[in-house]
Structure 1
Amino acid sequence: MQIKKFLQGALLTSAVMFSVHSFALTPFQATYQFAYNGHNISTATRTLQATENNHWTYKFAAKAGVLASATETSQFTFNNDKVISDKFSRATKYIGISDALNINFNHADKKVTTNKDGTVRSFPLENNPLDELNAEIQIREDLKNNRLKPVYYITDAKGIDARKFVNLGEETVKTQYGDFKTMKFKLEHNKPERNTLFWLAPQLDYLPVKVAHNDGANSYSISLINYKWQ
């Protein structure tokens, strides 16, 4: 079951990584090394692509050999430095067992609908809720413009939670892609045993060069290997 936990951790970690460019939202592909409980297991890619009329698709993909895989996809619009959620999907597979989550943001009816493995829930669309991927894009814009919000409203299968994003100061980080002076941040979760730390490099426009997630007895980390504009 360790590979399954690794993939779940990879998806949790993806919720706190950010991609940026100094002047505009720019398509890119990034590669990261994932480690589970201190052991390197796999690499993962993160890809941001523009479609049309300010519509964007952001995708995360990880694979652990032939046994397991995980993907997340966010579709959103982007206007005046503001992310507007449209759709989100997550799929994981582990030795033939699958797990899926789909979220639809219906702005006309002001309703969010989630489907987690066949269980459907609906709740009001309030406070411009984000998903766990496009929240990265919104926070990136807010950091660039020096207007980080006290909380961000992020959607999961059961509802919309307000999460804090806390600045912990500066720290130098070594990665395969180079050494960086970074700003260290913490994403606060609603569970005391869970915490996520990440390091953003101002010289790369706040690109995340390292992320560390702890969840009880399990820990996951991610480190930048390669990055390229598309």
Structure 2
Amino acid sequence: MAKQILKTLSLTSALTVTAVLGTISSQSFAMSPFQAGYQFSYNGKNIGSATRTLAKSGNNWSYAFVAKAVGLASATETSKFTLNNGQISSTSFSRTSKVLVHNNTMSINFNPSTKLINTKKDDKTRSFAWKAGVLDELNAELQLREDLKKGTLKSNYYLADAKEIEARKFVKQGNEKVTTSYGTFDTMKVVLKHDKPGRETIFWLAPKLDYLPVKVTHVDKKTSYGLLLTSYKGQTS
């Protein structure tokens, strides 16, 4: 379950892109550090929490995601990258997850000098041919936000995982108000289209919080996961 939890939460980032097509407007800001906290639910029951933290040192950025399902599982993802003229250049990505006593790890290293993207999942290693602009599941959110502010969205965003590089597409489905323990927000509703039947991921993005996802739901056949914002420290409009 931890892997699905982690994937659900990190996918939140990718959907920010489609918000640019909405009618809600917001002031444009440069990327800046923030921290957001979420309540995590499984099949309608609140079972844990999650945080997203963006930090900066010079032009080196670190984006971390941590999720904990009390007594069941935990997961941590970290993305490292640089930013130049609104374009993210991926450096590395790592994931660790634990379900009861079982641990799993995954890492991605982006190597422009060797024209390779190297991955390792537990003991399995792979290498892919270099492709400029390839993102990971976490920094994709941030790249999409940067594009959103410029109004120059790409038709596809390419993300690397342990096995491949794949294109992601997103679809906007209108605007909704979302109430959280942190407040009520006007949001843009965005759906991630999955190839597999029975799967659906929906994000609600708040322009007031620089298009931060304030709510996320993911359904995989009979199983559902959810996130709802509980705290935020960062830039607002």
What is the TM-score with the length of structure 1 in the denominator?
0.92
2:220 to 209, 215, 219: 215
2:52 to 42, 46, 49: 46
Aligned to 2:78: 73
CA positional deviation for 1:96: 1.5
Aligned to 2:31: 25
Q: Following the alignment from structure 2 to structure 1, what is the Cα–Cα distance between the partners of residues 117 and 3?
A: 26
* Contact in 1 for aligned 2:2/2:98 (Cα 8 Å): no
Q: Which moved more, 1:7-16 or 1:97-106?
A: 7-16
Aligned to 1:16: 12
CA positional deviation for 1:204: 2.0
Q: Following the alignment from structure 1 to structure 2, what is the Cα–Cα distance between the partners of residues 191 and 67?
A: 26
Aligned to 1:226: 231
CA positional deviation for 1:189: 2.5
Q: Following the alignment from structure 1 to structure 2, what is the Cα–Cα distance between the partners of residues 198 and 25?
A: 20
Any runs of at least 4 consecutive aligned residues in structure 1 with deviations exceeding 3 A, and if so which? none
Aligned to 1:82: 87
Q: Following the alignment from structure 2 to structure 1, what is the Cα–Cα distance between the partners of residues 3 and 126?
A: 25
Q: Following the alignment from structure 1 to structure 2, what is the Cα–Cα distance between the partners of residues 142 and 203?
A: 17
1:16–1:152 distance in 2 versus 1, CA, 3 Å: same
- The root-mean-square deviation of aligned C-alpha atoms, in Å, is 1.9
Q: Following the alignment from structure 2 to structure 1, what is the Cα–Cα distance between the partners of residues 32 and 221?
A: 36
Question: 2:65 corresponds to which letter in structure 1?
Answer: F
Q: Which moved more, 1:96-105 or 1:147-156?
A: 147-156
Q: Following the alignment from structure 1 to structure 2, what is the Cα–Cα distance between the partners of residues 136 and 120?
A: 26
| Stretches of structure 1 lacking an aligned partner (at least 5 in a row) | none
Aligned to 2:66: 61
Does 2:98 align with 1:93?
Answer: yes
* Contact in 2 for aligned 1:6/1:220 (Cα 8 Å): no
SS in structure 2 at match of 1:30: strand
SS in structure 2 at match of 1:16: helix
Q: Following the alignment from structure 1 to structure 2, what is the Cα–Cα distance between the partners of residues 46 and 112?
A: 25
Q: Following the alignment from structure 2 to structure 1, what is the Cα–Cα distance between the partners of residues 42 and 71?
A: 17
Counterparts of 1:1-230 in structure 2, within 5 Å, are 5=1, 8-17=4-13, 22-52=28-58, 54-229=59-234
* Contact in 2 for aligned 1:16/1:187 (Cα 8 Å): no
1:21–1:122 distance in 2 versus 1, CA, 3 Å: farther
SS in structure 1 at match of 2:12: coil
1:21–1:76 distance in 2 versus 1, CA, 3 Å: farther
Aligned to 2:19: none
Identity of aligned residues (%): 54
Cα deviation code 1:9-39 (max 9, x no counterpart): 2332222235x98321111111000101100
Question: 2:198 corresponds to which letter in structure 1?
Answer: E
SS in structure 2 at match of 1:144: helix
Q: Following the alignment from structure 2 to structure 1, what is the Cα–Cα distance between the partners of residues 72 and 198?
A: 28
What is the TM-score with the length of structure 2 in the denominator?
0.89
CA positional deviation for 1:60: 0.5
